[in-house]
């Protein structure tokens, strides 16, 4: 007798599905079960994670969807702009709606199919507000921002909030996680584990969801968080994209060195144009610096700085989903 798994699906069928060898009928049954069974979804996530760790599923790193387009709001795909207008109104900041539409097209923030994640908040920057962006944020980060009276925009899979959750769960497994919408977080209630948002797609002024459901939708953007404040005295805390999971082979060493040396050349040319010259000690008044020498003459500490910058740049490209191809 076949060993049974959750939802009466055999372990053998699950294994075949994960290996891509399940029949059409078996795949249909599993996808249907995924929409209903959280235990099965967790089992498949764990199995896929193990396969990645064992090298059975090739994966360089977990990609960041920086260029994903948030668009699910009216026929013009302006959900991001609607969120920013909501915040401007909330802060009693006057704006010309037509001018905002013109700016978003003129500056390339809005494409035909939506707004890229890295452009969320550009109109708010133009109004002099302080905007910070980060990936892999947490519910605690949202709570802290709200406690500090900051406005919060997050990118989500809109269908997982207002659409058919069963269909969206299947989409995540078959197609992948797709952040396609932005919402404004209004409040967080930890006593009953709910979160309240403004959603441009909703006919309600506010919508409240269980935090677990919200987080499922938010996870699709790698927990992309944009915070906005009018407080110019707020302490700046840098939150660069984590590239620690990107592993580069020795074949990138020459590229790293070329980028590092060229970065120094660009820096030196700009300094020279500003009137800086060589000096044994840095002297801002005299515009002298010991680093005004060819890259080959730099001390190891300075070379290390340039090399780290170069390597992190290469890693960031891969983290954002770009491939580097060397022409021969």
Residues of the chain with pLDDT under 50: 1-6, 52-59, 175
CA-angle at 114, arms to 202 and 73, nearest 5°:
15
Residues facing 10 on adjacent strands: 4
Find the helix or strand (DSSP H, E) in which 220 lies: none
According to the model, what pLDDT value does residue 1 have? 37
Domains for the chain: give ranges and CATH numbers: 6-53 (no CATH), 69-229 (3.90.70.10), 250-319 (1.10.490.160)
According to the model, what pLDDT value does residue 197 have? 97
- Residue with tokens 């191809």, as numbered in its chain: 325
According to the model, what pLDDT value does residue 303 have? 95
Beta strands in the chain (DSSP E): 69-70, 110-111, 114-116, 130-134, 151-156, 181-189, 194-198, 207-210, 225-229, 277-278, 288-289
| Residue 71 main-chain phi, psi, to 5 deg | -150, -10
3-state secondary structure 29-87: HHHHHHCCCHHHHHHHHHHHHHHHHCCCCCCCCCCCCCCCEECCCCCCCCHHHHHHHHH
Find the helix or strand (DSSP H, E) in which 96 lies: none
Cα separation, 235 vs 232, in Å, equals 9
According to the model, what pLDDT value does residue 20 have? 63
According to the model, what pLDDT value does residue 281 have? 95
Cα separation, 257 vs 262, in Å, equals 8
Cα separation, 82 vs 240, in Å, equals 27
């Amino acid at each position: 007798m076949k060993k049974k798994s959750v939802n009466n699906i055999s372990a053998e069928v699950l294994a075949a599905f994960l290996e891509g060898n399940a029949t059409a009928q078996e795949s249909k049954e599993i996808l249907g079960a995924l929409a209903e069974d959280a235990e099965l979804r967790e089992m498949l996530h764990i199995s896929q994670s193990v396969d990645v760790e064992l090298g059975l599923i090739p994966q360089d790193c977990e990609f960041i969807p920086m260029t994903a387009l948030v668009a699910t709001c009216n026929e013009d795909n302006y959900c991001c702009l609607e969120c920013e207008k909501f915040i401007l109104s909330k802060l009693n900041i006057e704006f010309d709606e037509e001018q905002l539409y013109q700016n978003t097209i003129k500056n390339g923030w809005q494409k035909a199919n939506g707004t890229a994640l890295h452009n969320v908040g550009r109109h708010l920057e133009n109004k002099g507000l302080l905007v910070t962006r980060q990936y892999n944020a947490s519910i605690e980060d949202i709570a802290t921002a709200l406690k500090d009276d900051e406005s919060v925009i997050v990118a989500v899979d809109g269908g997982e909030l207002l659409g058919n959750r069963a269909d969206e769960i299947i989409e995540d497994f078959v197609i992948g996680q797709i952040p396609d919408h932005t919402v404004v977080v209004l409040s967080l209630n930890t006593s009953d584990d709910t979160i309240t948002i403004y959603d441009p797609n909703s006919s309600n002024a506010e919508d409240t969801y269980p935090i677990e459901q919200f987080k499922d939708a938010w996870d699709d953007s790698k927990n992309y968080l944009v915070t906005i404040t009018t407080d110019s005295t707020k302490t700046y805390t840098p939150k660069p994209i984590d590239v620690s999971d990107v592993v580069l082979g020795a074949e990138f060493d020459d590229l790293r060195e070329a980028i590092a040396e060229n970065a120094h050349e660009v820096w030196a040319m700009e300094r020279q144009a500003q009137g800086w010259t060589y000096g044994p000690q840095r002297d801002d008044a005299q515009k002298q610096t010991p680093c005004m020498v060819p890259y080959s003459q730099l001390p190891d500490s300075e070379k290390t700085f340039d090399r780290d910058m170069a390597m992190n740049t290469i890693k960031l490209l891969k983290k954002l989903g770009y491939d580097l191809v060397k022409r021969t």
